[in-house]
Amino acid sequence: HPDTYPNAPTLLSRPRGFPELKNDTFLRAAWGEDTDYTPVWCMRQAGRYLPEFRETRAAQDFFSTCRSPEACCELTLQPLRRFPLDAAIIFSDILVVPQALGMEVTMVPGKGPSFPEPLREERDLERLRDPATVASELDYVFQAITLTRERLAGRVPLIGFAGAPWTLMTYMIEGGSSSTMAQAKRWLYQRPQASHQLLRILTDALVPYLVGQVAAGAQALQLFESHAGHLGPQLFNKFALPYIRDVAKRVKANLQKAGLASVPMIIFAKDGHFALEELAQSGYEVVGLDWTVAPGKARERVGKTVTLQGNLDPCALYASKEEIGQLVQQMLDDFGPQRYIANLGHGLYPDMDPEHVGAFVDAVHKHSRLLRQN
Q: What is the CA radius of gyration of the chain?
A: 20
- Given the residues 24, 28, 44, 339, select the one marked as catalytic: 44
Task: Measure the N-to-C terminal CA separation of the chain; round to a whole number of Å.
Answer: 32
Amino acid at 351: D
Catalytic residue among 28, 67, 86, 93: 93
- CA–CA distance, 187 with 184 (Å, rounded to integer): 5
The amino acid occupying position 29 is A
Q: How are beta strands 112-114 and 158-163 bridged, if at all?
A: unpaired
Q: Peptide bond preceding 311: is omega within 30 degrees of 0, i.e. cis?
A: yes
φ, ψ at 22 (rounded to 5°): -90, -35
| 86: annotated active-site residue | no
CA distance 139 to 143: 6
221 contacts 214 by C-beta, under 8 angstroms: yes
Which of 171, 209, 243, 284 is catalytic? The answer is 171
Q: Is 301 a catalytic residue?
A: no
Asked about 82 being catalytic, the answer comes back as: no
Q: Looking at this protein, which amino acid is placed at residue 233?
A: P
- Catalytic (active site) residue 171: yes
Considering 5, 24, 49, 57, which one is annotated as catalytic? Answer: 57
Active site (annotated) includes residue 140: no
CA–CA separation, 229 and 231 (whole Å): 5
How many residues in the chain? Answer: 374
The residues assigned a catalytic role are 44, 48, 57, 93, 171
